[in-house]
Amino acid sequence: MHLVFIGAHPDDETSSSGTIAKYTANGHEATIVMTTRGGRGHWEIPSEELERIRTKEMESAAKILGAEVIFLDYKDADVPAGDALKEELVDVVRNLKPDIVLTFHPMVWRDDHKRVGQAATEACFKACLPLLETRYLAHRPVPDIYFFGSPMVPVEKDVYIDVSEYMDVKMESFAQHRSQWVKWDIDEDDSTRPLEEIRARMLHRARQYGLESGVEYAEAFMSQYGRKRALDFFPTVR
C-alpha cells in the first residue's frame, strides 16, 4: 500500500503526520509531495535562504515519519491558477501509483491550499485515462482520496484515524520545522510563541478528535463523496 500526501507548504503534513507514521510503521510506503518550499513563511529570512532551510526541515520531518519527500518547486503564495499544476500531478500520480491520497479539500479558503487540493483531486482522476498520453502509463484504479483542512462551507469530518500511539513521533516530526515555531499563527501578535504552546494546541486538537471517535488521540479527514462503507457487524468492542 502506498500513501501519498500532497500539500502546499512544508509542515502542512502535520495535519496527517500521525497517520503517515502509522502507515510506515505498519510496513506501508508513504510519500510527501510538497508543491512549494514555503519561501514566504517567515518575517525576516530572505525567500531563497528560507527555501533552503525549510527543504531541510521537511526532509528531517519526513525521515522521522518514515516517508519520502518530493518538491514540485512552485512558489509559496503563488501556486498558479490554471492547469499546469494538475498536469504535473498527473505524472506524479502515475509515477507514485498511490492507493490512498491525502490532500487539502478543494474548497478551503487559501488559494495555495485550494489549488493544490483541486489539482490533486482532478489529477487522480486524469491519471487513470489511458488515452491521455504523458511520460507515464495510466495508473488505475483512481486512488481513494481523503481530505483535510476547513472548507468555506462546513463539511463534516467522516473518517477518524486512531493515532494514539503516534503522538510522540507526530510531535517530534513537527519540531523539525524550526523556522515555523516562532511565528506559527501569522494572524496574531508578534511575540514569539514557544514550541510548548504549539504542542499544546496540537495535543488539544488530536484529543478532541479522539473524544469524538472514542480513542485517546485521532486525526480526522473528509472522504470524497462522503462515502459510507457497509460493515459486517455493528462497531462494538465487547
Q: Which of residues 212-231 bind a copy of itself (CB under 8 A)?
A: 212-215, 218, 221, 224-231
Listed residue (10, 226, 222) closest to 101, CA to CA: 222
- Does position 196 interact with a copy of itself (CB under 8 A)? The reply is no
SS3 for 187? Answer: coil
Residue type for 73, please?
D
Q: Largest Cα–Cα distance in the chain?
A: 57
Identify any residues that bridge with 3 across adjacent strands, giving them in sequence order.
Answer: 30, 100
Whether residue 146 contacts residue 23, with contact meaning beta carbons closer than 8 Å, is answered with no
Candidates 6-14, 56-64, 66-74, 76-84 — which segment interacts with a copy of itself by CB under 8 A? 76-84
Q: How far apart are the first and last CA of the chain?
A: 30
**Subset of residues 17 to 46 that bind a copy of itself, contact rule: CB under 8 A:** 22-23, 26, 39-44, 46
Nearest distance, CB of residue 103 and a copy of itself, angstroms: 13
Q: Which of 27, 135, 186, 192 is the binder for a copy of itself (CB under 8 A)?
A: 186
- Which one-letter amino acid corresponds to residue 17? S
User: Least Å distance between CB 62 and a copy of itself?
Assistant: 20
Contacts to a copy of itself from residues 137-176, by CB under 8 A = 140-142, 144, 146, 150-155, 157-162
Size of site (CB under 8 A) for a copy of itself: 85
Cα–Cα dist 158/179, whole Å: 33
Minimum separation from the CB atom of position 24 to a copy of itself (A): 12
What character string, x for contact with a copy of itself (CB under 8 A) and - otherwise, covers 104-143?
--xx-xxx------x--xx--xx-xxxxx-------xxx-
Say which residue the cell 506524479 belongs to.
92
Shortest approach of a copy of itself to residue 68 CB, angstroms? 19
Shortest Å, Cβ 70 to a copy of itself: 21
Q: Please, what is the minimum distance in Å from the beta carbon of residue 58 to a copy of itself?
A: 18
Grid coordinates in use for 11? 509542515
3-state DSSP call for residue 159?
strand
Q: Report CA dihedral (83, 114, 176, 219) to the nearest 10 degrees.
A: -130
